[in-house]
Amino acid sequence: MPMPHSKRQVVVTRKLPDPVETRMMELFDVRLNLADKPLSHDELAAVMRECEVLVPTVTDRIDGALIQQAGEALRLIASFGTGVDHIDLRAAKAQGITVTNTPGVLTEDTADMTMALILAVPRRIVDGSKLIATGHWTGWSPTGMLGHRIHGKRLGIVGMGRIGQAVARRAKGFGLSIHYHNRKRVHPDIEDELEATYWENLDQMVGRMDILSINCPHTPATYHLMNRRRIGLMQPLAYLVNTSRGEVIDESALIDALKERRIAGAGLDVYEHEPKVSEGLLSLDNVVLLPHMGSATVEGRQDMGDKVIVNIKSFVDGHTPPDRVIDTMF
């Protein structure tokens, strides 16, 4: 049913792009977070008791306890982001609260960053930049800054959804051989287009790849999917790249493998305990570490905001939001 009054009470938990906030102000009764300071658990609980629509981001943990304390007015959580692992979907459903996200708009941006890491780690791009910046470069030499060629190598993609397929298209252009593991095999036409080899058994694929790219969402089924045992299956000259969610990898096991040179290196844009980055990772010289910026483009953030607005507007007008999240575990 449509909400009863013309301007709906919307709380936005973080600073959004100016055009998005301006349009929200035109349509809704909005409380913005201009300081961009993350709300504490108690602050989230307070606003959830008052608002009709909550617009959180992936950094806000909307757990079952918060949802159970929410006021009767709260009927929509319109998340600014693709992943929904920060929201207790089961608790939301029990309370009659609809959850939406912003899928699809970040596919190309995240795939670009994945490809950048696939190039940066084997080719030691960050090491080279540091060498220049510190003034230690003495000129070209036949054995200076040697990395590894990616052309002709095998890329294993874990998660062949929109982003995984976009990564595969880029990687194919660089001459990589495409392999993938997915919960379900993709359509044969997609396999043919990408010249991709499907591996039903993840262990078998992991042990044969030169580069492994994590592109699956974080769910209970994928938590520590790359655990200590699976990391141990990787080849000594293999690289691991993750632009998905940090929880998919056992970070402690990865650090040990990198320290002991049981794998060649890693490129990470996400971490298991964000925003905390393990000291073990920071001390390594065979990793490239980025601050969760895979989707950080002006265009992408604008598109995300537009989707949030469409979801809210559809909901308050009494329609099913186009990006309503349905948890298949229910």
pLDDT in tens, the chain (330 residues): 444 445 679 999 999 999 999 999 999 999 999 999 999 999 999 999 999 999 999 889 999 999 999 999 999 999 999 889 999 999 999 999 999 999 999 999 999 999 999 999 999 999 999 999 999 999 999 999 999 999 999 999 999 999 999 999 999 999 999 999 999 999 999 999 999 999 999 999 999 999 999 999 999 999 999 999 999 999 999 999 999 999 999 999 999 999 999 999 999 999 999 999 999 999 999 999 999 999 999 999 999 999 999 999 999 999 999 999 986 432
Cα–Cα distances (Å) from 66 to 44, 45, 180, 219, 243, in that order, read 8, 6, 38, 20, 28
Matching fold, domains 9-105+297-316 and 107-289: yes
* Residue tagged active-site, from 245, 247, 251, 272: 245
> Which residues pair with residue 98 across a beta bridge?
76
Question: 197-198 and 211-214: which strand pairing?
Answer: unpaired
- Scored b (16 or more CB within 10 A) or e, 303-320 reads bbbbbbbbbbbbbbeeee
> Tell me, what's the pLDDT at 254?
98
Residue 308 has which token pair? 């949030």
* Residue tagged active-site, from 86, 169, 274, 324: 274
- Measured distance CA(68)–CA(235) in Å, rounded: 47
Q: Residue ranges of the domains in the chain?
A: 9-105+297-316, 107-289
> What phi, psi does 202 have (nearest 5°)?
-65, -40
Question: 154-158 and 177-181: which strand pairing?
Answer: parallel
* CA 87, 51, 80, 56 torsion-angle sign: negative
Cis ω before 103 (30° cut-off from 0) = no
Residue 292 is among the residues annotated as catalytic for this protein: yes
Burial class (CB in 10 A: 0-12, 13-18, 19+), 118: buried
Q: Which of 231, 162, 229, 154 is nearest to 196 (CA)?
A: 154
Cut 0.75: pTM above it: yes
Q: Determine whether domain 9-105+297-316 maps to CATH 3.30.750.24.
A: no
- Measured distance CA(6)–CA(177) in Å, rounded: 55
Decide if 281 contacts 289 (C-beta within 8 A): yes
* Residue tagged active-site, from 8, 75, 170, 292: 292
- Measured distance CA(76)–CA(53) in Å, rounded: 5
> Tell me, what's the pLDDT at 3?
44
Residue 208 is among the residues annotated as catalytic for this protein: no
> Tell me, what's the pLDDT at 327?
64
- Measured distance CA(182)–CA(100) in Å, rounded: 24
> Tell me, what's the pLDDT at 2?
45
Decide if 244 contacts 159 (C-beta within 8 A): yes
Residue 26 is among the residues annotated as catalytic for this protein: no
Cα–Cα distances (Å) from 64 to 88, 97, 219, in that order, read 6, 12, 16
Q: Which fold has domain 107-289?
A: Rossmann fold (3.40.50)
The DSSP 8-state label assigned to residue 87 in this structure reads: B
